């Protein structure tokens, strides 16, 4: 059986997996990028780990998804946030190493490609994904095609203003969706609430550390403080979902990222605040594998 190799390059680690013809990941490997690693060191590690798969499976192509600015036509990671890549010729280096076709795209696009092939928007002609992580990213498919924009940066769904008087965003705008619905924003809201309500259930749970799940756990235990935080969070996310619905009119909006692991509990936060039901809104069912599935499918009909 022939396989495709998917690579997902993140800010702290790289994931690699072999994908079969049924969109199943037969094996997964993860290695840290290294806090002070150079681009050469990361690429050498990537090549060696890819070699492990190529020696074990019949790999017909490699697809790479990466955070940051990507030039798919030139095969470059132009910039990549926490990584030292600057115009890194990822495609050329992997092709030189293995002599098989190699493709690259933005990780948001890869996540949506994966969802469309094997997840919650199979068969959708018009769909989009919102990823809720450290920031807010996304991707859009319209009329069966990925929207890339003139500079391959389309799909920055976290960076439109929902409150012009809101806090400044790192992108330079004020009141961006990202400033309200990212995991970072939710954690900041919890930290503030814990400081103001030190005797709350939320504060007690926070003693074990705060992440995107803390408020949900506290709400489940009956914490009114956490319920209020999550209601405000859900309202902001509903504004984003409704705005994107009006702009793109997608059949389905998929929510992914760490907070999407809350599943129906997250959807229930959004529902009371939505003003339009024109688009189906769901959380991902791929459990964090959408990006690597989509990366493996680069160069196929799914990634047009």
pLDDT tens digits along 15-64: 999 999 999 999 999 999 888 899 999 999 999 999 999 999 999 999 99
Q: What angle do helix axes 183-196 and 224-248 make, rounded to 10 degrees?
A: 150
Three-class SS of residue 152? coil
Domain 2-113+289-303 has what CATH class? alpha beta
Count Cα atoms within 13 angstroms, Cβ side, for 124.
27
Distance from C-alpha of 274 to C-alpha of 235, rounded to nearest angstrom: 8
pLDDT tens digits along 128-169: 999 998 889 999 999 999 999 988 889 989 999 999 999 999
Task: Please name which of 286, 303, 304, 220 lies closest in space to residue 23, comparing C-alpha atoms.
Answer: 286
At residue 170, the pLDDT reads 87
State the CB neighbour count (10 A cutoff) for residue 79. 15
Domains 2-113+289-303 and 123-283 share a fold: yes
What average pLDDT does the chain have?
95
Task: Please name which of 37, 2, 41, 33 lies closest in space to residue 16, comparing C-alpha atoms.
Answer: 33
pLDDT tens digits along 78-92: 987 778 999 999 999
Distance from C-alpha of 75 to C-alpha of 241, rounded to nearest angstrom: 32
Q: Dihedral of CA 117/251/268/199: which sign?
A: positive
With beta carbons less than 8 A apart as the criterion, state whether 240 and 162 touch.
yes
- Residue 213 has what DSSP assignment? T
State the CB neighbour count (10 A cutoff) for residue 38. 11
pLDDT tens digits along 86-139: 999 999 999 999 999 999 999 999 999 999 999 999 989 999 999 998 889 999
106, two tokens: 């933005």
Strand order in the sheet with 86-88: 69-71, 76-79, 86-88
CATH topology of domain 123-283: Nucleotidyltransferase; domain 5 (3.30.420)
State pTM to two decimals.
0.92
Task: Please name which of 294, 284, 260, 258 lies closest in space to residue 65, comparing C-alpha atoms.
Answer: 294
Residue 299 CA, distance from chain mean position: 20
Structural domain boundaries in the chain: 2-113+289-303, 123-283
Distance from C-alpha of 216 to C-alpha of 52, rounded to nearest angstrom: 40
Strand bridging mode 252-256 / 145-146: unpaired
Q: Which residues pair with 129 in a beta bridge?
A: 139, 254
């Amino acid at each position: 059986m022939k396989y495709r190799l998917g690579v997902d390059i993140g800010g702290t680690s790289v994931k690699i997996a072999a994908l079969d013809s049924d969109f199943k990941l037969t094996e997964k490997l993860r290695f840290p990028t290294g806090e002070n690693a150079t681009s050469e060191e990361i690429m050498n590690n990537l090549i060696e780990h890819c070699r492990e798969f190529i020696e074990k499976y019949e790999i017909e192509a490699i697809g790479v998804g990466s955070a940051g600015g990507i030039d798919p036509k030139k095969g470059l990671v132009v910039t990549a946030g926490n990584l030292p890549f600057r115009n890194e010729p990822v495609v050329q280096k992997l092709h030189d190493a293995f002599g098989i076709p190699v493709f690259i795209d933005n990780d948001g696009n890869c996540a949506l490609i994966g969802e469309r092939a094997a997840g919650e928007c199979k068969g959708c002609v018009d769909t989009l994904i919102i990823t809720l992580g450290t920031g807010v990213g996304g991707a859009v498919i319209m009329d069966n095609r990925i929207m890339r924009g003139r500079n391959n940066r389309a799909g920055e769904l976290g960076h439109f203003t929902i409150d012009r008087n809101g806090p400044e965003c790192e992108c330079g705008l004020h009141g961006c969706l990202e400033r309200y619905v990212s995991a970072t924003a939710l954690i900041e809201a919890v930290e503030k609430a814990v400081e103001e309500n030190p005797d709350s259930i939320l504060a007690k749970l926070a003693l074990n550390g705060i992440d995107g799940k803390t408020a949900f756990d506290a709400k489940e235990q009956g914490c009114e403080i956490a319920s209020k935080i999550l209601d405000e969070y859900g309202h902001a996310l509903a504004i984003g979902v409704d705005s994107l619905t009006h702009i793109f009119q997608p059949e389905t909006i998929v929510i992914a990222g760490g907070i999407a692991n809350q599943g129906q509990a997250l959807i229930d936060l959004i529902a009371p605040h939505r003003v339009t039901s024109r688009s189906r809104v769901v959380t991902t069912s791929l459990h964090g594998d959408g990006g690597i599935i989509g990366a493996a499918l680069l160069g196929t009909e799914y990634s047009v």
